[in-house]
Structure 1
Amino acid sequence: MIFDSAKNLDFYRGLGIEGRYGKAVDFLQNTDLENLAPGKYEIDGKNVYANVTEYTTIPWEEAKYESHHDYTDIQYMITGTETMTYAPVDALNVTVPYNEEKDCVLYDNANPGLKVVVGAGEYMIFNPWDGHKPKAADGEPAPIKKVIVKIKEN
């Protein structure tokens, strides 16, 4: 798990395989994110793509821990703030087993995890071994816009 801000994106450019992180960084740095409509954006086929989403955050207790086997997430806040929570997958209890089509496992909320308030221009990077819980409110539920860049790790 990594928490950082937009000014440091270039630091992560060389991670991973086949220049995929570099493509993700280029997308985040060279795209007018605030005016990007919600939806899926192909960057490098199934190797790197982005999901732009807008929603109202929910109470922490209602949000769900998740993890992915094949993809790393860069969850980049465009507007608003959200509490994202991290816990290692080995410290979480599976509630919905791995779904290969969705590349997702869901977990219960027994682990309080490490909570980070992520604001506009900040992001968290979650690798396949990182359980993460997005969508939680920072205080009262509020609207946010973010982009989740998915980077295939295998």
Structure 2
Amino acid sequence: MKKIFNYKLILLVMVCFISKTTLAQTTANWTEKSAKEWADKGEWRNGFKTKLYAGIDYVEFAKQYHKNKAAWDKAFAYINNTKLDTVSPGKYLIDGDNVFSTITDANTKEYDKTMWESHRKYIDLHLMIRGKERIAVMNPATAVVTDQYDENKDVAHYDANTKGNYYIADQETLMIFFPQNAHRPVIHVDGYDKVKKLVIKIKVAQ
């Protein structure tokens, strides 16, 4: 009887420790250094091999992942376990309206034919299935709004002349855009007039 009680006590202590650790991670005061160290350690990967793009907001990634781990794990599992090159364009539910994907076949565009966008309700994960495109990223707080935020479409647009940082999106690079990351996708890369891409939407955790 005493041995059973000791086992239960040990189990209770372990559960409390795990819960305390999870809570500490969720409410952690992440810094750029600690968030990058966490991301580089790769405990979140669970077999996910694609690299993160150079401009990722590590602090926001760490915060959002720990606040909504189940949703992120489902998104990564979907990428890992789906033969994306065989999936037809369309919208696919992963976890209801919490996590869903859209696959598109699209023509890339010249820079002046693209536009800035940002979202408030959802985080965007962009991954090329076939081809390459350029994606620009900037902080919308520094830009002039041209189309006010539309809650139904979860999108706002900004002055096309706003400058940003530019990245090449390809099959080996995952782009993640949080509400503070306005982005300008589908910019033409020489040799790639048409692309097939995956966008996963993860609801922002408050």
- What is the TM-score of this pair, normalised by structure 2? 0.67
- Between the aligned partners of 2:199 and 2:71, the Cα distance in structure 1 is 14
Q: Which runs of 4+ in 1 moved over 4 A?
A: none
Secondary structure of the residue aligned to 1:19 is helix
Aligned counterpart, 1:123 = 174
Q: How many angstroms apart in 2 are the aligned matches of 1:54 and 1:121?
A: 18
Would you say the 8 A contact 2:132–2:169 is kept in 1? yes
Q: Are 1:48 and 1:149, in contact at CA under 8 Å, matched by a contact in 2?
A: yes
**Backbone CA RMSD of aligned residues:** 2.0
Identity %: 31
Where does residue 32 of structure 1 map in the other structure?
83
Q: Is the 8 A contact 1:75 1:147 kept in 2?
A: yes
Cα offset, 1:98, TM superposition: 0.6
SS at match of 2:72: helix
State the 1:18 CA deviation. Answer: 4.9
Q: Secondary structure at the match of 2:49?
A: helix
Call closer, same or farther: CA 1:109–1:141 in 2, change over 3 Å. farther
Instruction: Mark the runs of 5 or more structure 1 residues left unpaired by the alignment.
Output: 1-5
Alignment of 1:134-153 (within 5 A): 134-139=185-190, 142-153=193-204
Corresponding position of 2:121: 70
- Tell me if 1:7 matches 2:49: yes
Distance across 1 between alignment mates of 2:51 and 2:200:
13
1:123: how far off? 2.0
Aligned length: 148
Greater strand share, 1 or 2? 1
Aligned-partner Cα distance in 2 for 1:9–1:22: 16
Unaligned runs of 5+ in 2: 1-47, 53-60
Measured after TM superposition, the shift of residue 121 of structure 1 is: 2.9
Query: What are the Cα deviations for residues 95-146 of structure 1, in whole angstroms up to 9, with x where unaligned?
Result: 1111111100011222220010111232210001110000111136611000
**1:115 partner amino acid:** Y
* TM-score, normalised by the number of residues in structure 1: 0.89
Which residue in 1 is equivalent to 2:140?
89
Q: 1:9 to 1:138 in 2, by over 3 A?
A: closer
| Alignment of structure 1 residues 49-68 onto 2, 5 Å | 49-68=100-119
| TM superposition shift of 1:81 | 0.3
Please state which structure has a larger fraction of its residues in helix.
2
Amino acid at match of 1:7: K
Relative contact order, CA 8 A, sep 6+: which one is greater? 1
* Contact residue 54 and residue 143 of structure 1 kept, 8 A: yes
1:75-110, CA deviations, whole angstroms, 9 ceiling, x for partnerless residues? 111000000000011122111111111100011222
Take 1:51 and 1:72, find their aligned partners in 2: how far apart are those partners?
13
Read off the aligned partner of 1:51 and give its amino acid letter: T
